[in-house]
Amino acid sequence: MTAAVTTPDSLPHGDASPGSTLSGPMLPAFADVLAAAARIAPHAKRTPVLRSRSLDELAGCELHFKCENLQRVGAFKFRGACNAIFALDAATAARGILTQSSGNHGAAVALASRLRGVPATVVVPEGAPAVKLAGIAGYGARIVRCAPTMAAREAAAEALRAESGAHLVHPFDDADVIAGQGTVALELLRSEPALDALLAPVGGGGLLSGCSLAAKTLRPQIEVIGAEPAGAADAIASLREGHCITDMTARTVCDGLRGHLAPRTLALLQRHVDELLAIDDAATVAAMRLLFERLKLVVEPSGAIAFAAVLQHRERFAGRRVGIVLSGGNVDLDALPWQAMA
């Protein structure tokens, strides 16, 4: 299942410095990705790009794995949160940071706030993995629980914002967050400049939109593809319909990909992404296990879905140089998904 993507010219984009625009949400430009790279450099890791002969043979193409599971907090989310929080002026930052997150973004905000020296509060939906909750608490943030819906998350965060005056760092509908996530593709293409294709997971779309912006700027001929859980395919529907679909119920093992697109990420995906592929959870779990076995990396389900997309569409990628973002590695080791499925 794929979604054709149109490229409307009516959306605002290309602001070199984030700010309001006349006709829509402010979008980051490539210059913002470069600025983010410089801003987060003292704090974030330059993650390695790993290769595997046996996985190349299995997939029938040349795989370059960008290991964001080895990023701080165990996920790419640290890049965007770090960029957004360090971009704040001192007075704003001092009022504290607030966010809502199913896990990795919450841990990222908690750590980046601690590094900036300001307090953080994270709204976490019931049902988030214990390992991710422990991460948030471990970095010293205050945790507030809410019901497991996007509406409940956003309402709880807004109530806390109104009450405390804290600065809300949205997990993806934020130009600085998107620019920070784009540094994943920036680093990958600087290290592997001749990639033919780049695949990343899509949930709220922050990673994919930032990476597509960076990748298409650095290498216009690259194909940029998103992988979305078949049981949470709101991004595919949103691109088909041309507006954000936010009333779908997510049913997927990929706990990091249950969010919906927001105006900024939709606009960037429309502009820069060639295709989205819907991937069944069984394929994602099989790919995740292969990454454990062959690459010797701990990857969470959301982090393995882009590799699953390559394995499910072998003919499409045959013989090509393919970049794959392994987006995170925070998984409950007492409940690995192939055990639940056995």
- Nearer CB in complex with a second copy: 91/296: 296
Residue 328, strand partner residues: 75
Residue 122, strand partner residues: 99, 143
**Cα-to-chain-centroid distance, residue 264:** 14
- Nearer CB in complex with a second copy: 64/216: 64
- Nearer CB in complex with a second copy: 139/173: 139
CB of 68 to a second copy, least distance (A): 10
Q: Are 260 and 245 in contact (CB under 8 A)?
A: yes
CB of 124 to a second copy, least distance (A): 19
CB of 322 to a second copy, least distance (A): 20
The CA radius of gyration of the chain, in Å to the nearest whole number, is 18
Tokens of 263: 């105006």
Tokens of 34: 């470069």
Give the separation between CA 84 and CA 68, rounded to whole angstroms.
18
Give the separation between CA 253 and CA 280, rounded to whole angstroms.
10
- From 340, 341, 205, select the one nearest 263 (Cα to Cα): 205
Per DSSP (E only), the strands in 111-256 are 120-125, 142-146, 167-168, 197-201, 223-229
The CB density around residue 164, as the number of other CB atoms within 10 Å, is: 13
Q: Are 39 and 179 in contact (CB under 8 A)?
A: no
Q: Which residues would be at the binding site for a second copy (CB under 8 A)?
A: 48, 50, 53, 67, 69-70, 72, 74, 131, 289, 292-293, 295-299, 329, 333-334, 336, 338-339, 342
- Nearer CB in complex with a second copy: 297/305: 297
CB of 329 to a second copy, least distance (A): 4
CB of 298 to a second copy, least distance (A): 4
The residue type found at 182 is G
- Nearer CB in complex with a second copy: 131/245: 131
CB of 50 to a second copy, least distance (A): 7
> Rounded to 5 degrees, what angle do the CA atoms 263, 238, 251 make?
110
- Nearer CB in complex with a second copy: 162/333: 333
CB of 334 to a second copy, least distance (A): 8
- Nearer CB in complex with a second copy: 35/291: 291
CB of 294 to a second copy, least distance (A): 8
Tokens of 44: 């974030």
- Nearer CB in complex with a second copy: 74/323: 74
